[in-house]
Structure 1
Amino acid sequence: MRGEQAVKNLTHFIISFLVGGLTPFILVYIASAEGFYAFINHHASWYCENCVYALLVPDIFSPLHKYFYVVTGLALLSLIAIQTLRNSRSLVSLAYASVGAVVALNYVFTPQMILMISPLAVLALNKRELGTYVIADIVNFSLIITFFEDSTLRSLFSKIIPIETGFNPWTIDSPTQWLATIRNMLILITIVASITKRSELSNPSERAFSLN
């Protein structure tokens, strides 16, 4: 009985990941196969843009960022799968966690990419988690402003801390990247919180089963 429930939970996770993660790409491919391949090739050769790995490797052109993405992405998805085996979870929660992990841990995380997970966040997160996500979204919006004001912000902060002046919003010493890191961490916190909390089972038989 427990094994059957675990298989059912894992099946839900796989379905939610495939539907939530692959559907947007399938739609793009259907709309324009040429555009889809151009999109893949473009991002495959891209640098670390607003990615969390700049904290470890400041060189935004380092290929290590892509390796970090694969390792950390698989690790978080594995954690989600393990938690799914332990407790039943809704498809929307699994979709948010899995798609959110792919986006937040990506070596390319432009401000508009948050639109891929915002609808799922509204449906999947509780009040406290959603509050954290809203803060992350506000920080994400601020990235657009600080990007164009990077030179001004660098000049201001250079009077307090030793950073280079000029326009360079892509490197980790930029205020823009400070905000990007905060945004990434906040989103990851909501993902981990949503998958590690004990799920609310829908009926008494499921609750009794979970206690056995």
Structure 2
Amino acid sequence: MPLAIVIAAIVVATGLVGAAVIITHNRRPAAAPPNSSAIAGEVVPADQARINANCNTSSAPLTILDSQAAEEPVLALPQPAGWTFDTRMNNALIRSSLTSTEGQGDTVKAVAVVTLENVTDRVHSVLEAMDAEIDGLVTVMRANVESQAPGAVCGYAGSTVDYSITNRTGTGLIVAAKDSQDRIWTAAVTIQSFEPESPDYLEAKRVILDGFQFSLRSDLLRPTT
């Protein structure tokens, strides 16, 4: 079973329940020359924030996330004001986290987690990959899917899912694509807050989910190394 959104949901829930989160770095926007190659870790200013011609322009600075293999899709995550990158849990599946904190003890208010997975050996189509991710939320996390809205992320199949686990609500954005070598990839962004109705959180959630970008290497606006 594909686990991208399941792992993201687990990490988000754990991040909210846990105590302080260790902040490992806070990247700042830095303009790149127009014809330079995009590199992992580069921060693209909001007015240039697209990695693929079909992506929505991000309204916040966009960080290109580290890749672990040359064939992987490229992921880019917007950083809303007041949110900080946390790489403590990064691994082969979890590619980045953002946290919103408050107070001297850096008490976590909200968490967003990005995952990426090659699901070629478990599904046969992009549609099956999307369905399997949502099924995992229900069967593994025992989540109640409140709503599901199909859409597109940078021209690829996408879906936004609102769910609840016990008394906590979250939102996941799933995207899936098949590359030229018939590998099927899924990525997910999951976000949750202790204060889900807070205007600041709702705006940050909009920035993250609307601005998240995913691109197969063949579709990049400029090369990524």
In terms of fraction of residues, the more helix-rich structure is 1
Q: TM-score, normalised by structure 2?
A: 0.22
Greater length-normalized contact order (CA 8 Å, ≥ 6 residues apart):
2
In terms of fraction of residues, the more strand-rich structure is 2
Q: TM-score, normalised by structure 1?
A: 0.23
